[in-house]
Structure 1
Amino acid sequence: MESIDSMRVLKQCRVSPSPASVTQQPASLPLTFFDILWLCNSSVERLFLYPIPHSTVVFTESYLPNLMSSLSLALHHFYPLAGKLRRSPNSPADMYELHYAEDDSVSLTIAETDLDFLHLVGYHDCDSNKLSSLVPRLPKLDDDNRPLLDIQVTLFPDHGIGIGVTVHHVVCDGFNSTHFIKSWATSCKPRGHVSLVPPDPSFDRSVIVDPCDLYSEILGDLNSLIAGKQVLQTVVQSAASNLVHATFTLGPDRIEGLKTLVRSKSLQLLDFRSLLCIPVDLHYQGARIPS
């Protein structure tokens, strides 16, 4: 077994979508101006910790096969996650797309750790590096071969498991990554278990129109910020060793109190009733549209 800090990698494998994923779906999806904002390797990271009091042997023999097969079923509906981000062939150099090929797959790492599971799930501050070690990092490859999803399952023998999911923000945001997780969880449930099945995602790019070519404008701004982003990443990485995570619980009374506080402060700062008396003119491409 290979050691990575406090981790021991038990298995590294790849999981493909179940067969016939793209029979009725496009193999390539062009990025829109909503997507291109996240081109510079931004990622959505999720970590789920579950108490499962079983040994490593029991988990790998009894739970892991179902976890992998259900992942394949979920990827059947979310097949772009198994693909790559690349420059569009036969298109201008600044056009990008999500491309899925038949042999594409998702990296899945199975690891074991001696970290204190109960400490990590407790309601107190926790070393950020310990939690970060449970979440995979997307490898940085060239522009024609960027993976979009990486998953790590970490075993805490006789205590629990951690499932870390990292997805490139260019393929989906937090809402849609949660959609994928829910679909995976539904596929993982035993047969006969009644649950609400999440709807399939939509890949119809025709509903997003870009008459003002915002795509090119946003991409141009991103290119000018790349150098600054690299400097910012260096500063953040240098300070990462001093970071902690903390968990807090808010009951219904506290939540309602926060809502009341926000409402009262907003009314003090801005009288919304006065806005209703102000005529507003909306403009689109120079054409005046009366409100």
Structure 2
Amino acid sequence: MNPSIVQQISECFVKPQLTTEESKQPCYLTPWDLAMLAVQYIQKGLLFKKPPATHSQQDFINTLLDKLKQSLSLTLVHFYPLAGRLATVKNENPPAYSVFVDCNNSPGAKFIHAVLDMTISDILSPTYVPLVVQSLFDHDRALNIDGHTRPLLSIQVTELVDGVFIGCSMNHSLGDGTSYWNFLNAWSEIFQAQEKGTLSISYPPIIQRWFLDGHGPMINLPLKHQEEFMNRYEAPPLKERVFHFSLESIAKVKVKANAEVNTSEISSFQSLSALVWRSITRARHLPHDQVTSCRLAINNRSRLAPPLPENYFGNCVQTVRGVTTVGQLLEHSLGWAAWKLHEAVVGHTDKEVRGFVEAWLQSPSLYQLHQFFDPQSVMMGSSPRFNMYGNEFGLGKAIALRSGYAHKFDGKVSSYPGHEGGGSIDLEVCLSPDNMTALESDVEFMNAVSSS
């Protein structure tokens, strides 16, 4: 047995503990949901230390697995679409497909127990995230459209020598990062309270989807063949590294950015994103007339009028971007680049959000990962605002967060809260080996990086 290979011990399926009348109905997908069909599952996971040995390790893991499955079953009562499968209705004239979630015709969410003969140090000590981390998740390379035959939610609990990794793969057509972490937060909350047998959670999800007036709930995709969904993406060779930024370091970057353009309106995250954009662009040694952009994932819930609540379960996310040439980006200041990103964010209003949906309905299209793989640009995903380290599962606070294979390309940067909290941020940066080496030699960038 190769000690660096994850060995699957068992798998089963978990259904909601109760079947509600609401869960017997189809869950229809919005334009934001449908646009995700050709991209990959969300894959994020938390690494925990094993507790001090007070009894046999086998008893510990068996008890943990039983509690995780029981609490997952309770959580799925609230998040019942995650226990379903995708279903498609084909229309012959004109040719079109309508995709929705069938919450009844499914064995449930998948639950895997696996082992890996490695330590926490083996995972966290290397400078670059080891490839074995990708094996800590199910649904490797799966597209969301595969949810017709694969579970929409898969949990993989991998036992390490001295730790436990809980990796969650969720179909991105069902929800965005906000929805993903709301689910994890609810599962953790129910886990902590399950001895009381309670089903209540602090922020129950709102499953009913948001549609523009006069549209939905069933939306046709004008495709002649279902194969048009299936543009498989293979990531290029990448190095992946997590860079840590303390609150003090971020504050300095923010003060510098605002001072350079005589304002106080640029946020910490816009300032940090501008630093990353400029530093990665410098590392790439691109021609000065080359167009470059920095995309920011942006939550539409608060931008709609009236706004949607944060516990709206579904996709409600787009990207905004700052665009310029390499020469302009590098010749101007950090503040100049940060202001471009600030303008993109503040310009994303209710009118812009609704305009995007109206345009999509006139000409539906699916996001393709190869379109996001732009070797001249940077994509800032996820968010340090998500409550990632509040998920404990009886194991105390996680010591690290890692992601799977999904959505990785040269210039993809995912932002997470730092482990110590308090406004610190971890950036998971994916770059080609040469570009990563150049970034690590970038003085402005590395001066802002803090020791973990």
TM-score, normalised by the number of residues in structure 2: 0.50
1:153 matches 2:148:
no
The answer to which of 160-169 and 3-12 deviates more is: 3-12
Using the alignment, how far apart are the partners of 1:80 and 1:112 within structure 2? 29
Q: Which residue of 1 aligns with 2:120?
A: 117
Across the aligned residues of Structure 1 and Structure 2, the Cα RMSD in angstroms comes to 3.9
SS at match of 2:122: helix
1:254 matches 2:249:
yes
Q: Which residue of 2 aligns with 1:204?
A: 208
Using the alignment, how far apart are the partners of 2:83 and 2:159 within structure 1? 24
- Could you list the per-position Cα deviations for residues 136-167 of structure 1 after superposition, in whole angstroms to 9, with x for gaps in the alignment? 1166786743431111000013x110011111
Question: Pairwise mapping of residues 46-125 of structure 1 onto structure 2 (< 5 A)?
Answer: 46-53=44-51, 54=53, 56-88=57-89, 93-101=96-104, 104-122=107-125, 124-125=127-128
Instruction: Return the match for 1:32 from 26, 30, 33.
Output: 30
- Could you list the per-position Cα deviations for residues 228-254 of structure 1 after superposition, in whole angstroms to 9, with x for gaps in the alignment? x43xx24x2xx34xx333233221111
Q: Which residue of 1 aligns with 2:21?
A: 23
C-alpha spacing 1:95/1:248, structure 2 compared with 1 (3 Å): same
1:245 matches 2:240:
yes
C-alpha contact (below 8 Å) 1:122/1:247 kept by paired residues: no
SS at match of 1:107: strand
Gaps of 5+ in 1: 274-280, 286-291
Q: What code does the residue aligned with 2:255 have? A: T
C-alpha spacing 1:175/1:154, structure 2 compared with 1 (3 Å): same
C-alpha spacing 1:261/1:212, structure 2 compared with 1 (3 Å): farther
Identity, % of aligned positions: 22
Q: What code does the residue aligned with 1:95 have? A: S
Q: What code does the residue aligned with 1:130 have? A: V
Using the alignment, how far apart are the partners of 1:121 and 1:177 within structure 2? 24
Q: What code does the residue aligned with 1:160 have? A: G
C-alpha contact (below 8 Å) 2:85/2:101 kept by paired residues: yes
1:173 matches 2:176:
yes
1:132 matches 2:134:
yes
Q: What code does the residue aligned with 2:14 have? A: V
C-alpha contact (below 8 Å) 1:109/1:153 kept by paired residues: yes
Cα shift at 1:171: 0.5
C-alpha contact (below 8 Å) 1:28/1:100 kept by paired residues: yes
C-alpha spacing 1:8/1:145, structure 2 compared with 1 (3 Å): closer
C-alpha spacing 1:99/1:261, structure 2 compared with 1 (3 Å): farther
C-alpha contact (below 8 Å) 2:96/2:220 kept by paired residues: no
Q: What code does the residue aligned with 1:260 have? A: V
Q: Which residue of 2 aligns with 1:6?
A: 5
C-alpha contact (below 8 Å) 2:84/2:102 kept by paired residues: yes
Using the alignment, how far apart are the partners of 1:198 and 1:24 within structure 2? 20
The answer to which of 179-188 and 247-256 deviates more is: 247-256
Using the alignment, how far apart are the partners of 1:149 and 1:67 within structure 2? 14
- Could you list the per-position Cα deviations for residues 116-151 of structure 1 after superposition, in whole angstroms to 9, with x for gaps in the alignment? 322313473232x11101111166786743431111
SS at match of 2:166: strand
Gaps of 5+ in 2: 261-332, 344-350, 359-452
TM-score, normalised by the number of residues in structure 1: 0.74
C-alpha contact (below 8 Å) 1:117/1:160 kept by paired residues: yes
Cα shift at 1:219: 5.9
The answer to which of 100-109 and 11-20 deviates more is: 100-109
C-alpha spacing 1:177/1:261, structure 2 compared with 1 (3 Å): same
C-alpha spacing 1:144/1:70, structure 2 compared with 1 (3 Å): closer
C-alpha spacing 1:200/1:12, structure 2 compared with 1 (3 Å): same
SS at match of 2:183: helix
Q: Which residue of 1 aligns with 2:192?
A: 189
Cα shift at 1:12: 1.1
